[in-house]
Structure 1
Amino acid sequence: MKPKENYSNRFRLTYGLAALAVGVTASGWGIAFAIMGAWPLVAMDVAVVFVAFLSLVLARRNQLSAALLFSQSAFLVIITTLCLIFDVPREAAPRVSHLFLLVLALLGYINYRREQSRPQLAIVALCVIAFVVFASSTAAPSFAQPIPETFQIYGSWVNTIVAVGLLCIGVYVMQLELARDLDKARAIKAALRNREFELFYQPQVDETGRLTGAEALLRWRRGDGTHVPPAEFIPTAEQAGLMPAIGEWVLTQACETLAAWRHDPATSGLKLAINVSADHFMKLDFVETVLDCLRTLEIDPALLKLELTESMMANDIDAISEKMRDLRTAGLFISLDDFGTGYSSLSHLRRLPVQEIKIDRSFVQDIVENRRNRVLLKSIFDMAHMLEFVVVAEGVETLEQLRLLRSFDCTAFQGYYFGRPVPLGEFQTRWTNDPVAPAALSA
């Protein structure tokens, strides 16, 4: 399932208005240059209008992340071309097109805070470097075709006003976004302090539909009873550095659940999986914290499953591998979550002491309709079986998906077809009375 893009409505609106303003300004200059027959400049303005229009289309289709990267990359090329060939500094009028590079850099920084990526960071760096070069130099290449002086004089005023205006808007939006994130972070801290978080439990079953364990999923129920979706607070918690504190709370709750299950024959052998964030896992005392919690509550380490996301592999792989080995030596079960969507590779799988991989739900969703997906998924299962990994198919929602996965010799499943995440009491009532999913019996 594609994650929801983490952009506020204010940011979306501002981006749309900025793209519209750039498009209108470029249209005006294009008409003026067409009247005077400066067709190369007309072509540049047409390119600007096209980029602005396509960016608006992408944004309206809820592809704002793609729109931002596309528009920044395209405008970086266009502005660099303008500065090299057309906007050549004169004694009567300075070069001003490079001011828009600061706007791009600011836009890129705001986007980087929302969704950190190397391409975005590279674009910001290139914009800053290009701005410094053009601001510090008056040299022009031999193939330059300077704008007519009269137009350049007027253009220096117009473009400076537009660039400074966009910069001011960008700074204002960034301030609002920072304030929004700060308010969210404070609310998350208060929720942790006021015990507004709770764990929901989703069943994990074997090929016969028999319950083998559950995944504990974090939920936030405000004091007024309203629920906050994880997609709305987890990114903020990650940016604010709150995931280690939340992760320790989840760990404690999960261990207490396992301690309670130990006294019931119907639940004493169930595994419980918890998600571990990269920040939490990389804490120096993470292994000691986990083992202390298990020892204090006298829990069999083999019953606690730690699910680590593939994105964690972007960190120090040697340090991660060492911690995994320590945890496995202590008896814990290590699972690689969202397999196929992140940074892992075959070399990582060879080096990491994982016992289980969870196939991301995006592979399972269209397995019935998409032949390529079926072939790819079959290859993943074959590889995993040869490497002696347990494979869990996540996001199973239909009987057809279940039958296909069984044909791949999949023996572990999780998804709405077997049960939705529910509070602990409801989970125990449902599964302790009958530990077999009726849906699986019809497959």
Structure 2
Amino acid sequence: MSFLTQASAAKEASRSLATASRATKDAALHAMADALAGAETEVLAANARDVRAAEAAGTTAAMVDRLRLSPARVADMVQGLRDLAGLPDPVGDVVRGWTNPNGVRVRQVRVPFGVVGIIYEARPNVTADAAGICLKSGNAALLRGSSSATSSNTAVVTALRTGLERVGLTPDAVQLVLGGREVTTEMMAARGLVDVLIPRGGAGLIEAVVTGSQVPVIETGTGNCHLVVDAAADHQTALDVVVDAKVRRPSVCNSLETLLVHRDVAEEFLPKALALLAEHGVTVHGDPSVAALDPAVVPATEDDFTGEALSLDLSVAVVDDLDAALAHIRRYSSGHSETIVTDSTRAAERFTTEVDAAAVLVNTSSRFVDGGEFGFGAEIGISTQKLHARGPMGLAEMTSTKYVVVGEGQVRG
């Protein structure tokens, strides 16, 4: 099937989804969850084929981790769909409303985008999350996964479409877009059929879609996330947060990439941190002050501070004060998630006020910057732009608005 045929079918499906009741959409989400749970064996077998092919091709461990599914991850996908069914329907919500002096009533209400195209790398769990969020928010989904996850995505989408058919909704509401790079180009040019594109993946993918698309784009971002250990930090809290943010799942965008330690506490804090990180298999790339403390520290380069490692590698630097930490973050931040550990209210207020990022955290792990952790159910991704949506994108972020104006014959004259 050609992409234009798929997009046209999605556009038609979006019209019926836009007026579907919450009960209908929730029933579909439960049916999709049931079908996905019932297809676990097939999904895991398909994923195993993708993982074997990726490992044979020399794919990095971080990317293989993103690709790999397990019974627990499939269960999380299933539960994510059920959680979405339990959330309020954003469509029709009144954002604001008022009555003008002339009696004309104005309401701004949430409405679906229509057709949402999502271009993403690896991570077949995104397939279920994105399909579910789009459905609940009244949108049809065109899912363009990477070739490395084709078998996994095909198995997942087959199950989801089966669920849709069971409740009488058109399966064209969720479609997997296959083909070469020319298909991605077609998606980016499909203005009028695709209402919005969302790229989710590495910096190269995001940049290609943002710069090459004729369709409006909601930009997700890479996660060069920093953590500042302030002079007033509780050291045990800082150690706990560092380990959770770096070690729990280093291949995801909300994991810690750079640790900045205030010089006043560096001599006391860093030996404990370096020993703990080594216990967890983390390779530290440190500036001269850090490297002088431990021969196992790899001297840091500019590249170490610039981008995502997405692995058990952590860049560490000593900063003279909070001003220096803020300057470092301004220079290197991707605008995703930035953290400070401090018992100083003044330092926390400065940090949350001055740091320009989608999420700013105090005394807690950046791993909480996630749609599920925020109570959104699943998420489409984390937007680092400043228009429309910023941060984890849940149901409300997958809608636009329109104004409904009601009068009783008033005219402007």
**Which entry has the higher C-alpha Rg, 1 or 2?**
1
**Normalised-by-shorter TM-score class:** under 0.3
More helix by share: 1
Q: TM-score, normalised by structure 1?
A: 0.23
Q: TM-score, normalised by structure 2?
A: 0.24
